[in-house]
Homo-oligomer: A and B are copies of this chain.
Amino acid sequence: MKPGGSDGPHVFVEDLDHLELRDEDHHHLTKSLRLRPGDPFTASDGEGSWRICRLGSGPEGEVEPVGEVMYVEAPQPPLTIGFALIKGGRPELVVQKLTELGVDAIIPFTADHSVVRWKPDRATRQTERLRRVAREAAMQSRQVRLPEIGEPTDFATLAAHPGAIRADITGNPPCLDHPTVLVGPEGGWSEAERHQLGAIRLSSSVLRSETASITTAALLTALRDGLTATS
């Protein structure tokens, strides 16, 4: 069972047995969404468990449990999307959309034709930023699992994942035997990268890199949810 249908406020907490809201989430519930004491919402630990809660009447933003803790099995297989860092790329957009769609791991990487490389201190700041984007998107889309947002890595590390494959217009139809998909830079894949991994095709069109990532997420989650079938 997923948290309380398709609407109502949803937040993440550290511990479902000792409910405490982050200040920013308390603010979001009471100021942006205008919840009042007694109003219900759902809380999740980001690892598959959730429960119904309500705002307490105390001044400190206490939260009271209402329902039991429920657990949602993780959908199988877990899906990983690696996206190449690119100049002018919009990693926030990619992370937001992939989180909404329920991708399990989202990992930036440097491809041979990536023009952009993040230096270590920038990589740390950017990863923290992308994790905040993912948390907000997961709240809004009522996920019970937070995706893993990986530190930037390289092609070879992602290519070593079981079933890893590249997205490429010359590839085969997507299928869940390849639950890890690498989306390349707009400059395309290098010969070495092409040689190393097979490819799946997402569209008959030439997609921007960010669109290719979102399309991969849409097609693989639909296959996983049984909304479409392998061709």
Contacts and interface: CB of A to CB of B under 8 A. Distances in A.
A211 to B, nearest CB: 5
A205 B101 contact: yes
A24 to B, nearest CB: 19
A229 to B, nearest CB: 4
Interface of A: 2, 6-7, 75, 93, 97, 100-102, 140-143, 169-170, 173-174, 188, 201-208, 211, 214-215, 218-219, 221-223, 225-231
Contact of A203 (B170, B205, B221, B230): B221
17 contacts: A6-B206, A102-B203, A102-B205, A141-B205, A141-B206, A142-B206, A201-B227, A202-B218, A202-B227, A214-B218, A215-B218, A215-B222, A219-B222, A219-B228, A223-B228, A229-B229, A229-B231
Secondary structure at chain A's binding surface: helix, strand, loop or mixed? Answer: loop
A211 B226 CA distance: 19
